[in-house]
Amino acid sequence: MKGLFVFRQDLRCHDHPLLLRAVNECEQLDLFLLVPKDLERWAQARRVFWDQSVQDLQQQISDKGSSLSIVTSLPNTRIYDVCYASTIFSYNEDKEIPKDGTWITEVVDQLFHDYQIKPMTQQFTSFRKQVEEGLYSRASIPESSIESLPPRVTQNPPVAFSMKSKECDSILFKGGERAARAHLKQYFWERRLASTYKETRNEMLGANFSTKFSPYLALGCLSPLAIERELKLYEKEVEKNESTYWIFFELLWREFFRVMYQKYGIAFFRKRGLKEAPPIFVNDGELFEKWCTGQTGVDIVDACMKELLATGYMSNRGRQIVASYLINEYNLDWTLGASFFEKHLIDYDVYSNWGNWMYLAGVGFDPRPRRWFDPEKQAKIYDPRGEFRELWLSSYREKD
Ligand code: FAD
């Protein structure tokens, strides 16, 4: 069989059941990567992380004897009909991809498969209980790697897409599947950080307080199943405690927002979310600009925003504080904040980002109204010696 495989946010060769299936079923296989439509709008750190991840995929594919065509759209249907035997492998169907082929799709970025057939809940706690009661069937994928790839159908990939990442290499995270796997190994086996995750996860400074798996999960350099497998092994061989459970618990939040998106879709992007009417916002471009550039005058908020601008990452605690500030202190439209995060976050994930923003804005799945985080109190608890604020505010003072 001849096939066409389309990569998007599944930038990995390892632990990829669909790619494995394509390799096993096709004598010839073309590999395409569809460039995200809004790529040109991304901030630098997000773009660099993506470029690095794509380059790593490209290299791995080349090492396995094939090549990757990086394209903004797939070959048109006519050429495609001539060239291919109409079997398209992609983790979901896409209106940009020709419809006249046979589609083979599979869930490749979730822990469980069959959310849509169960009675749906709107609260995280009941979802977690359903999971723990075994209501959903597990996407169990044995660890799989691909040694070699079949030859391509078309010998010359369409015009290559040009990468920009050589222009800047200042981000903290290195993109790509191989960096992701090295990080996974280091997190569990070299630093053994899983044992203390619950105590440290709310901190804001440094590399070790939380797992930092999110950028790799967002681009599919790492699958949640690979993390879970490593976690189980760690629990068996090193230690099983509240912290190790809590990593799984947080991964369930990621799943929860995916489930909710399957149910509510477009409501994730509405100002009113799941409510009857949107909250009343003020329309003030200057305030928004202050928030975006980290110039609100509230140190903890400004430090978090500077960190985001410089690195494309912010801790979960930081995200809650700055989102609450935009929503509750400035009374601005929460969708502005969510869009700003979309542009900058290297771990941007449509479900987790919009789902968390909705939640904090009080238009999502939280039965309580808006969540308010007092920034001064948060700073005292989570940055008691002011080191996080000093790091990000002083580096900007030096530049000024
Ligand atoms: P850890 O604390 O180590 O957690 C392990 C994993 O669990 C994370 O990698 C992530 O996959 C998942 N997880 C943890 N907390 C959450 C959560 N609240 N919601 C969903 N999944 C979670 N996460 C994203 O991956 N992409 C986003 O675009 C995103 N936007 C957010 C926007 C706001 C306003 C808020 C409050 C949170 C957002 N989060 C987002 C969730 C969370 O902040 C990040 O997942 C986390 O900070 C990533 O760092 P980590 O991998 O070290 O997390």
Average pLDDT over residues 50-55: 95
Out of 346, 352, 353, 378, mutate this one to test ligand 1's pocket (max ligand atoms within 8 Å of CB): namely 352
pLDDT number for residue 398: 59
Nearest residue (CA) to ligand 1, atom 14: 250
Q: What is the pLDDT of residue 177?
A: 97
State the first-to-last Cα distance of the chain, in angstroms, to the nearest integer. Answer: 61
Both tokens of residue 334?
Answer: 């929460």
Exposed / middle / buried, residue 39 (Cβ in 10 Å: 0-12, 13-18, 19+): middle
What percent of the chain has a predicted confidence (pLDDT) above 70?
Answer: 86
- Position 250 scores a pLDDT of 98
Residue owning the nearest CA to atom 17 of ligand 1: 253
149 CB burial (10 A radius; 0-12, 13-18, 19+): buried
Q: Ligand 1: does its nearest atom lie under 6 Å from the Cβ of 335? A: no
For residue 250, report the distance from its CA to the centre of ligand 1, in Å. Answer: 8
Establish whether residue 357 lines the binding site of ligand 1, counting it when its CB lies within 6 angstroms of any ligand atom: yes
Residue 365 corresponds to which amino acid? Answer: F
Please name the residues in contact with 337: beta carbons below 8 A apart, sequence gap of 6 or more: 291, 322, 323, 326, 327, 357
pLDDT digits (tens, 9 = 90+) for 370-388: 788 999 999 999 999 999 9
pLDDT tens readout for residues 142-200: 677 799 999 998 876 655 566 665 544 445 789 999 999 999 999 999 999 999 999 99
Asked if residue 230 has its Cβ within 6 Å of ligand 1, the reply is no
319 within ligand 1 shell (Cβ under 6 A): yes
Which of 90-104, 172-186, 313-327 has the weakest average pLDDT? 90-104
With the most atoms of ligand 1 within 8 angstroms of its CB, the residue from 46, 187, 200, 254 to mutate is 254
User: Which two structure tokens, joined as six digits, stand for 267?
Assistant: 């409501």
Rounded mean pLDDT of the chain?
88
User: What is the reported pLDDT for 82?
Assistant: 47
Give me ligand 1 centre to Cα 211, in Å. 10
Which pLDDT band holds residue 122 (cuts at 50, 70, 90)?
A: confident
* DSSP single-letter state for residue 266: G
Percent of the chain with pLDDT over 90: 64
Q: Indicate if the pLDDT at residue 314 is higher than 70.
A: yes
The CA distance from 51 to 55, in Å, is 6
How many angstroms does the Cα of residue 268 sit away from the middle of ligand 1? 17
Angle at 183 between CA 253 and CA 220, to 5 degrees: 50
Check if 341 has its Cβ closer than 6 Å to any atom of ligand 1. Answer: yes
Quick one: pLDDT band at residue 104, thresholds 50, 70, 90? confident
Closest Cα to atom 45 of ligand 1:
214
Segment 59-83 shows an average pLDDT of 78
73-77, 268-272, 289-293, range with the lowest pLDDT: 73-77
User: Does the pLDDT value for residue 69 go beyond 80?
Assistant: yes
Q: Is 257 in the pocket of ligand 1 (CB under 6 A)?
A: yes
pLDDT at residue 136, rounded to an integer:
81
Is 60 close to ligand 1, i.e. is its CB under 6 Å away? no
Of 51-55, 89-93, 267-271, 355-359, the one with minimum mean pLDDT is 89-93
CB of 292 closer than 6 angstroms to any ligand 1 atom:
no
Neighbouring-strand partners of residue 163: none
pLDDT digits (tens, 9 = 90+) for 228-252: 999 999 999 999 999 999 999 999 9
Amino acid letter at 181?
Answer: R
pLDDT at 96: 57
Helix 299-311, helix 316-324: angle, nearest 10: 120
Q: How many CB atoms lie within 10 A of CB 207?
A: 13
Confidence of residue 89 (pLDDT cuts 50, 70, 90): confident
Using CA of residue 202, residue 205, residue 208, residue 214, what is the dihedral sign?
Answer: positive
Helices (H), the chain: 17-25, 44-63, 77-83, 124-132, 177-185, 197-200, 214-218, 224-237, 242-264, 285-293, 299-311, 316-324, 334-344, 350-361, 375-382, 387-399
Gap from CA of 102 to ligand 1 centroid (Å): 35
The confidence score (pLDDT) of residue 290 equals 98
